[in-house]
Structure 1
Amino acid sequence: MRHRSRWLRLAALGAVPVVVAGIVNLPASPSSAAVPVSNGVYTLASASSGKCVNVVGASTGNAGLLAQLACDTTAGSQQFRVVAQNGAYGLVNVNSGRCVDVPYSSTTSGEQLWQWGCHAEPNQRWTFTASTASTDRYLIRSASSGLCVSNKDGSTSGGNPVVQEPCSDIARMQWRFNPTGSTPPPTTPPPSGTPTVAADGSGQYRTVQAAIDAVPTNNTQRVTITIKPGTYRQVVRVPANKPHITLRGLGAGPSNTVLVFNNSANSHGTSGSASMFVDGANFVAENLTISNDFDENSTSSGHQAVALHLNADRAVLRNVRLLGDQDTFLVNDRTRAYMVNSYVEGTVDFIFGGGTIVIDRTTVHEKRSSGGTITAASTPAEKAYGFLFYRSTITGTGSNNTNLGRPWRQGAQVLYRESNLSGTIKNSEPWTNMGDSTWQNARFLEYRNTGSGATVNGNRPQLSDSQAANYTPQRYLAGTDGWNPM
């Protein structure tokens, strides 16, 4: 059995519900044909057959094969979301939440493509090149194999395999992106291409904080701050009296725009150590990295070093990387947040706090080879919902040595739902205690997880199908105002 390569520190893919969309930097089309936009949802039609790429049997599991079928724009198994990723793009099936994937990074011509849980590995990344032979088509090339997506032999038969082959600008490798009703219109780029923030002086401001400070107090309209690729070393604060702010990196992927600092609990206390503090409601961050690069090995104590301290209602994090060691991401009590198509890494308790968050189609990575604990929720007992990991991927550098969580407060609520748990998770005892708070008396749950770390036993409480209806992302986020960023 061939083994899939393990992705360590790349941002994760996932379906990306849209709040603010931007145009993906694709080659110009030779005509006025539809150009894919960031977060757009499309059917992919073959120039040789007119049929569309389809996940066979509408499978929602790993290894669901791709074949062509008569186009149906309403079928989720034929809808794929374009997600910008590290200079290339992911294709995420809307029905399954899984990514178009080259099996085992194969370089064999004729290998049939399938879907797999999103990891942002090279075999799930694609480049789009406008066809010079057809005015409304693109060649879709694998960043892993260098081969192109093809309708095998150019057949017009339904069920014909979708494979990879050496690239050639011919009909069976030309694909048209047909927008569905879920595809957002392109947004207007910054005037004359000028970013709001650029460290080199080419923007309106040199620092992110200066741009935030310029937003009128108690603003009622969304203000989008675009940030030129680069590294911005400064503590950033979005105060409560400045809601509706979007921070958007302008690079090809989140790794191109980095907001970073290195305070720690040793000098500032845990909650005060963050590189970014967000208190303003309706905050959005997209296509950027928020990092705390304090080295936990540099001191004998005070290792906690927060990247993002989020204490804001109705916040959305999209295509964002959160990097740190211990206590990377504080989801504080006032928080109601939706995180999607993102990546979080750390060593101990690196997602923690008393707020409510849905982490959707995101990779969560334990980077310590000796393992650690992913979550330390402190959900108040009277609050129904805490942390939901939904259709996400849990990875790590160690094996059978990482805990899903421990209760910072006895009422802690954490659910891993329909997620892929790698072998880094402790099979027999994935939950653990924290001081006097015991995991058995916390609200720790799983539901329909997959992967080698997803064994079911007496130490792993599972939701029933009927119970699961009350633990959907929408239930977590609705609150009293019916908020639904999905």
Structure 2
Amino acid sequence: MTEVRGRARHRRRGRALVIGAPAVLTAAGVLAYGTAFGVFGTDARAGAEAGAAAPAPVWARAVADGFASVDALGQKGTYGGRDGRTVTVRTLADLERYATAPEPYVIVVAGTITVNPTGKEIKVSSDKTIVGSGTSGHIVGGGFFLGQGVHNVIIRNLTIRDAYQGIWNDKEHDFDAVQMDGAHHVWIDHNDLRHMADGLIDSRKDTTYVTVSWNRLGTNNKTFGIGWTEHVTAELTIHHNWFRETEQRNPSTDNVARAHLYNNLLQDDPGTDITSSYGNYARGRTRMVLENSVFQGVNNPVVKDGTAALVQRGNVFSGTKGRNESGGTAFDPRAFYPYTLDPAAEVPALLRSGAGPRTTIGTASTPTPARTTPAAAPTVLTVAKDGSGRFTSVQKAVDAVPAGNSSRVVIRVSPGVYRETVTIPSNKPQVTIEGTGGSRKDTVLVEGHASGMTRPDGSGTYGTGGSATVAVEADDFQARNLTISNDFDEAANRNLNGHQAVALRTAADRILLDGVIVSGDQDTLLLDTAAKARLGRVYVTGSYVIGNVDFVFGRATAVIDRSVLTLKKRWDGTSAGYVTAPSTPAGRKGFLITRSTVNGDVAAGGFFLGRPWHAGGDATLSPQTTVRDSVLSAAVKRTPWTDMGGFSWKADRFAEYRNTGPGAGPAHTDRPHLSSAEAAAQDTRHWLGDWNPRTP
């Protein structure tokens, strides 16, 4: 795409904006797999023998955020049992049977299960999701135990209650709702935990990469303890939890390397039998970041040991008394994962309506064990530069996919740098390319073509679209855990006419980019469609997109969610550029950037969030970019939108909603913000319609 466009043939009137409030997209995982074996040789047979379970319901494919989403210790985020069968249990025996099984399972608790003997903690093995069916899933008189090395576990949408033995400060009965001793990658979400003999949650003995979110914790003494170790290694995220009528450990964090607490509500009502002793406590050598939380009537709301570090930002205190402390240097959570803060003023209402079990989780067409049958495994092709895979290049593996493929093919690429161009043609849908390394940086697909360069065969220049390192023309494509880069050297080719250098071009529908890096300079990520009249939807999650000029552009309908848009200096060292350049057809949705971060090592005030690209001077287009619930660095201009090629951005659809950070700013004539009513229709669900991208 060129930077300068033809003059507008005529101006159009501004049109009404249609926008939306944030919605957590719970669709996750891979598409249902079928396969035709024999075409692909030994790789296909190996995949068939390994087997793959039927896809779990949409709600069971939700994945953790926060520290539980971080790739570490050989585990890539936390997704529970989504690779296994979905089973329904109504008895303690069945719950224990599946919870302790070595295979992955999504275990739906449908009804009340009373634990016998009282206080028993059901042992949970790795790769499990245990979820309540709507609000009906209750565990009474006991809880769960995750032992040393247990990982990739989700405990969600359950009520765990009533192991209390009548002794308030009970030293005899260690009856917890959830106890973790040396586990990692655990997500505890949307539960109601109350009235236990000991802790509601105990995270002990170096348990790490844990996220605790959207829970109700109440009517308890020792609520949420973290520590029981001399090591300082644990990393936890605790957000959007409602602590009510809990005396202590709300939580207490001892020797925690990184504790990130935000948007929690701690409430101690006057005149009740339970009086808070303290709220959030940073003990030992803990480093804690505490943001936008609300403390109502809590005694000693924030306590810090002399050896701990605790940074407070944006918290609200009402009717509190006693210690409220901070000090020292902690850490930057955004260095580990993206997140979006809700305003502290909105937290009480948000949690009172949203914390705890949801009727929409665990209730959609849940099969029982007797009815559940495994689906066929995906066809798997392997690529390795050293010859240890079936193919030595990614394109050779794509070439082996038969035209008209009707089932998913997964191309697993070993770590290494693959200098090649890759095209997935339109007649080869359902292809996944995934890196097998421990990091998305380990597997790199790279080439250095630019628009103005002459093709080797002398047939002309590459053009913008033709410069792409990877070109996706087939529907239902997925990319995971790798880097796609265009390393064209602008400085060495400063006199070339045409510096557009695309890393990834998509021109199809239902494209999923999950956990990838897309890196370049000008025109890094081209999100296109097969034709102007064709729909092309793209969902980018947990990823990094790097560039400087129009580095996200095109006419696709695209969501960039929980990702980082990294701003990069230009070849001459200047900090000036544009994040987006949509060319959206009228009547369709353009680019939605949500719950993401815009930052980079560039000067302040140099980058626009976007400008309208009327490709070819087409005045019928209606370019759209919405940036919402995201963190904007100081690099973003105070007037973040600008004209392009004679077309005014004000005649198109550019808006913000509830952004934060030094680059955010109040609404004014040159910085439109959405009202809550307008925001109600611009979120991921409205953007993608009937397509639920399934991320791991």
Q: What band does the TM-score fall into relative to the shorter chain?
A: 0.5 to 0.7
Aligned to 1:390: 594
Separation of aligned partners in 1, 2:435 and 2:412: 6
Separation of aligned partners in 1, 2:400 and 2:549: 36
1:286 equivalent to 2:480? Answer yes
Separation of aligned partners in 1, 2:377 and 2:438: 15
Deviation of the 1:34 alpha carbon? 2.6
Code of the aligned partner of 1:431: W
Aligned to 1:77: 214
1:399 equivalent to 2:610? Answer no
1:459 equivalent to 2:670? Answer yes
Separation of aligned partners in 2, 1:25 and 1:453: 31
Separation of aligned partners in 1, 2:504 and 2:413: 18
* Number of residue pairs the alignment of both structures matches: 380
Separation of aligned partners in 2, 1:377 and 1:265: 19
- In the TM superposition, 1:17-32 aligns within 5 A as 17-20=27-30, 26=73
Distance 1:283 1:112, change over 3 A: closer
Deviation of the 1:348 alpha carbon? 0.3
Code of the aligned partner of 2:29: V
Deviation of the 1:35 alpha carbon? 2.9
Q: Is the 8 A contact 1:447 1:462 kept in 2?
A: yes
Match of residue 581, structure 2, among 335, 352, 376: 376
- In the TM superposition, 1:81-480 aligns within 5 A as 113-115=259-261, 196-267=382-453, 268-299=462-493, 300=495, 301-334=497-530, 335-368=536-569, 370-383=575-588, 385-396=589-600, 397-409=602-614, 411-427=622-638, 429-456=639-666, 457-478=668-689
- Secondary structure (helix, strand or coil) at the match of 1:325 reads coil
Separation of aligned partners in 2, 1:91 and 1:277: 38
Q: Is the 8 A contact 1:112 1:162 kept in 2?
A: no
Give 5+ residue unaligned stretches, structure 1.
1-13, 59-67, 80-87, 97-107, 118-145, 150-158, 167-179
Percent identity over paired residues: 39
Separation of aligned partners in 2, 1:40 and 1:77: 16
Separation of aligned partners in 1, 2:641 and 2:446: 31
- Secondary structure (helix, strand or coil) at the match of 1:260 reads strand
1:127-178 Cα offsets, whole Å, 9 max, x none, are xxxxxxxxxxxxxxxxxxx9799xxxxxxxxx99999989xxxxxxxxxxxx
Code of the aligned partner of 1:411: S
Code of the aligned partner of 1:274: A
Distance 1:36 1:401, change over 3 A: farther
Q: Is the 8 A contact 2:522 2:548 kept in 1?
A: yes
Q: Is the 8 A contact 1:195 1:228 kept in 2?
A: no
Code of the aligned partner of 1:279: E
Distance 1:195 1:327, change over 3 A: same
Aligned to 1:485: 693
Code of the aligned partner of 1:459: D
1:290-322 Cα offsets, whole Å, 9 max, x none, are 000001222223111000010110010000100
Aligned to 1:177: none
Aligned to 1:173: none
Separation of aligned partners in 2, 1:15 and 1:94: 17
1:5-36 Cα offsets, whole Å, 9 max, x none, are xxxxxxxxx998532399977479xx965335
Aligned to 1:120: none
1:401-434 Cα offsets, whole Å, 9 max, x none, are 110001012511000011111111011x110111
Distance 1:36 1:216, change over 3 A: same
Deviation of the 1:284 alpha carbon? 0.5
Separation of aligned partners in 1, 2:428 and 2:237: 34
- Secondary structure (helix, strand or coil) at the match of 2:466 reads coil
- Secondary structure (helix, strand or coil) at the match of 1:264 reads coil
Separation of aligned partners in 2, 1:425 and 1:331: 22
TM-score normalised according to structure 2 size: 0.48
Separation of aligned partners in 1, 2:187 and 2:693: 28
Q: Is the 8 A contact 2:381 2:390 kept in 1?
A: yes
Q: Is the 8 A contact 2:580 2:610 kept in 1?
A: yes
Separation of aligned partners in 2, 1:89 and 1:202: 37
Aligned to 1:175: none
Q: Is the 8 A contact 1:16 1:39 kept in 2?
A: no
Aligned to 2:118: none
TM-score normalised according to structure 1 size: 0.68
Code of the aligned partner of 2:214: S
Answer with 1 or 2: which has the greater Rg. Answer: 2
Separation of aligned partners in 1, 2:464 and 2:405: 30
Separation of aligned partners in 2, 1:239 and 1:221: 15
Q: Is the 8 A contact 1:113 1:162 kept in 2?
A: no
Distance 1:93 1:355, change over 3 A: farther
Aligned to 2:66: none
Separation of aligned partners in 2, 1:422 and 1:18: 29
Deviation of the 1:477 alpha carbon? 0.7
Distance 1:112 1:333, change over 3 A: closer
| More RCO (CA 8 Å, sep 6+) | 2
1:441-477 Cα offsets, whole Å, 9 max, x none, are 1100111111111102321111111111111111111
Separation of aligned partners in 1, 2:692 and 2:237: 20
Distance 1:53 1:353, change over 3 A: closer
